[in-house]
A = this chain, B = another copy of it.
Amino acid sequence: MAETNKKKMIKLACTGLGIILFASAVVFVFSSSKLYSQEDEDRALLERAKTFFAPLTEKVIDNPQNPVTPEKVNLGKMLYFEPRLSKSGFISCNSCHNLASYGVDNLPTSIGHKWQIGPRNAPTVLNAALHTAQFWDGRAKDLEEQAKGPVLNPKEMASPHEGFVVDRLKSIPEYVELFKKAFPEEKDPLTYENVAKAIAAFERTLLTPSRFDNFLQGDLNALTKEEKEGLKTFIEVGCTTCHRGKGVGGDIFQKFGLVKPYYEVIKYKDKKQIDIGRYAITKNEGDKYVFKVPSLRNVTRTYPYFHDGSVWSLEEAVKIMAEIQLGRKLTDDEVKKIVAFLKSLEGEIPEDALKLPVLPESTPQTSKPDFK
């Protein structure tokens, strides 16, 4: 009996041990398989993301026609902050593309000379070098061409003509010297062309890699769980049709209201104000309501949204986009996840760009500010 009991107890103990071992093994296999599957999923997401996006680094995006040099960047930054480029002496590039607020003014559309209200929302200068063309309608092929626009636009900085700007700068000896240094091979370096080239060179340095780029470079933990879910949703919903590449947008043109006219969704008070987009430039019927797809980098900071700055909430903008571009009604949860992902596109403004330059003094030859 004692022997049988002993045997029974041993058997029981063995069974108990067996159960424990089996349970442990099950837990181990289950948990490790779960671990493996999460990383696997993330890796799959990364591989998928890589087919749409490319990581942004701090490497300057050069223009062979205007190679970026420290001298040009230095001069360009001064000109970027230079209110004397405007007729009034009050408005600089930074007035509307304020580097203190991610290169925008956070206004629906900008304020210009004599408090005129511009027709379109000021896009950020950050990462603008990535864009296939400049302005909402892409009427400038690059930053060098773009920089020439606002200075002479009567609704913006309102300088009357190129010579006015050149003469003002030529009246300031420090600028004469700085243009010589920035364009050392030119006989007459202080030209309107070179004003734009220097500003563009500065702008080419305004790149803001973010956590998303770390993810794209293989760091699976660079994004939170929600951000990864957002990225997945962003891809699955089809946002990547337009918002793709290094800029997460900015590399193609697209009709605003591809599936549904946008003016039916955004309630415009005045239908006459509806912007026909690129059509105004090309006169091509197919370009009606067509705009450059904006980059979504730092989009959480560049409210209000769309070419007319009509929408303040990023959640609402995402919903509208899905509806009018993709014909989809997103759930609140999908929107929340996408917005979480978009937050991961927020980068840091380069430290050098945030160092305010000290501007050189005017001379008796410098033309006086004109408020009219």
A residues neighboring B (CB under 8 Å): 81, 83, 88-90, 95, 98-102, 105-108, 111, 114-115, 117, 300-301, 303, 312-313, 349, 354-359, 361-362, 364, 368-369, 371
Asked whether, in the complex, the Cβ of A117 is within 8 Å of the Cβ of B371, the reply is yes
Neighbour of A361 across the interface among B95, B111, B115, B300, CB < 8 A: B300
Contacts A81-B100, A105-B89, A356-B356 given; does A301 touch B361 at CB 8 Å? yes
Measured CA separation A111–B83 after assembly (Å):
13
Q: Closest chain B residue to A316 by CB distance?
A: B364
Measured CA separation A371–B355 after assembly (Å):
29
Measured CA separation A371–B364 after assembly (Å):
35
CB neighbours of A358 from chain B (8 A) = 100-102, 349, 354
CB neighbours of A107 from chain B (8 A) = 88-90, 369, 371
Asked whether, in the complex, the Cβ of A371 is within 8 Å of the Cβ of B83, the reply is no
Q: Closest chain B residue to A96 by CB distance?
A: B90
Asked whether, in the complex, the Cβ of A356 is within 8 Å of the Cβ of B359, the reply is no
Measured CA separation A300–B371 after assembly (Å):
23
* Stoichiometry (number of copies): 2
CB neighbours of A108 from chain B (8 A) = 369
CB neighbours of A361 from chain B (8 A) = 300-301, 303
Neighbour of A355 across the interface among B102, B117, B300, B354, CB < 8 A: B354
CB neighbours of A371 from chain B (8 A) = 107, 111, 115, 117
CB distance from A296 to the nearest CB of B (A): 15
Contacts A88-B111, A100-B81 given; does A356 touch B357 at CB 8 Å? no
Neighbour of A98 across the interface among B83, B102, B106, CB < 8 A: B83
Measured CA separation A371–B112 after assembly (Å):
12
CB distance from A301 to the nearest CB of B (A): 6
Q: Closest chain B residue to A114 by CB distance?
A: B115
Give 16 A-B pairs besides A83-B101, A89-B107 with Cβ atoms closer than 8 angstroms: A81-B100, A83-B105, A88-B107, A90-B95, A101-B358, A101-B359, A102-B358, A106-B369, A107-B369, A111-B371, A115-B371, A117-B371, A303-B362, A312-B364, A313-B364, A354-B355
A-B contact pairs, 14 of them (CB 8 A): A81-B100, A83-B101, A88-B107, A89-B105, A90-B105, A99-B356, A100-B356, A100-B358, A106-B369, A107-B369, A114-B115, A303-B362, A312-B364, A355-B356
Measured CA separation A270–B239 after assembly (Å):
62
CB distance from A360 to the nearest CB of B (A): 9
CB distance from A356 to the nearest CB of B (A): 4
CB distance from A231 to the nearest CB of B (A): 21
Measured CA separation A357–B349 after assembly (Å):
10
CB distance from A82 to the nearest CB of B (A): 8
Measured CA separation A354–B301 after assembly (Å):
22
CB neighbours of A312 from chain B (8 A) = 364, 368
